[in-house]
Amino acid sequence: MSMNPPPITLQERLQRLARLEAAMEAQGVAAVLIDATASLRYFTGLVWWRSERMIAALVRPGKPLTYICPAFELDKVGGSVGVPGEFLTWEEHESPYRLVADAVPNGVLAVDEQAPVFAWLGLAEALGVERLRGASPLITPLRARKSEAEIALMTRAKALTLEAHRRTHGSLQAGMRGSDVVAFLDKQHRALGADGGNTFCIASFGVDTALPHGGEGDPELKEGDVVLIDTGCALDGYNADITRTYVFGEPTAEVRRIWELEHAAQAAAFDAARLGQPCEAVDAAVRVFLKSSGLGPDYQVPGTPHRTGHGIGLDHFHMTADGPKWFTRPQPSLDEPFRGVAPLTA
């Protein structure tokens, strides 16, 4: 297969921060606090894990990007950031929330909504809850629009997962367990050049394939079983998520009928995904088709028990149902054109 595309550059991250600051000024927000979430990677390149100790970035228009971290982590954090900035550190007996309060003495602080509740409570005590608001209205629209570099990474990640699926299909043997399939896919993703192995993997056989996320246990594959494999990988943090469903052996007439209905439902979803249409139209089109085919209605099974599609990017499930509602055309922002992509949400 071809080479992986280059990772996100410093220039692109600086453009993202500039867009964020412009949105902050337009909405009257003094500062945005980005916790150790995918948004921290998106804006700064810093990949960190959430824990009881705050690691965050503070964005203030017209001021240097500021990182907040425990003093004993300064060397490691400082060597891991992708965007240069200043550092505010705190010792174990000190409060990181007080550091934030001192750095943002006035105005509204918008907080990354994936931050833990205890961080919000600590900030509320230090600044006053009336000064806090969620940062999703600022962050989500930026992350929803993917740059050409992001699209290239996601397209490549998808290609790797598709190839891993293809190899897995050819390797199946009677007696294999779901865990064997998961391990095989992990090995293939690594061999193909993904960041690591599987970012997640569900391998279900037989009746367990009727459950969207599989059943319990680790059954053996048998002739005639329906096989459902849902897996993905990542490149520079950008995810792929692809499900494939087929039969090990020959399908029964009923399995073939349901498979063909599902295939037609997917076609209805793709046909509904048009510029200017609300994203929820995709899910609605699927439900109309399934109801007309005698399945459902609504979330009843046999049918589709959850919404059709979801956003994806640095987060495996990108954004919530209150994210972007419309398919949009590419729109220029600063000096770089961005392509509109949006989650398929009910």
Structural domains of the chain sorted by starting position, each given as residue range(s) with its CATH number in brackets: 10-144 (3.40.350.10), 161-235+244-250 (no CATH), 252-346 (3.90.230.10)
**Residue 249 burial (10 A CB sphere; 0-12, 13-18, 19+):** middle
pLDDT at 4: 92
Question: Which strands form 145-146's sheet, in the order they lie side by side?
Answer: 145-146, 336-340, 331-333
pLDDT tens readout for residues 230-244: 999 999 999 999 999
Cβ(319)–Cβ(312) below 8 Å = no
| CA-based R_g, the chain, Å | 23
Reduce the secondary structure of 280-307 to three states and give it as a string: HHHHHHHHHHHHHCCCCCCCCCCCCCCC
pLDDT at 135: 98
pLDDT along the chain (346 residues), means of 10: 90 98 98 98 96 96 98 97 98 97 98 96 98 97 94 97 98 98 98 96 94 88 97 98 96 95 95 89 95 93 88 77 50 32 28
Nearest to 43 by CA among 79, 12, 77: 12
- Residue that has been written with the tokens 């494999």 in this structure: 229
pLDDT at 327: 58
Cβ(8)–Cβ(150) below 8 Å = yes
As a whole number of angstroms, the distance between CA 108 and CA 32 comes to 9
pLDDT at 301: 87
Distance from the Cα of residue 12 to its chain's centroid: 19
pLDDT at 266: 94
Distance from the Cα of residue 137 to its chain's centroid: 17
pLDDT at 326: 57
**Residue 102 burial (10 A CB sphere; 0-12, 13-18, 19+):** exposed
Counted residue by residue, the chain has a size of 346
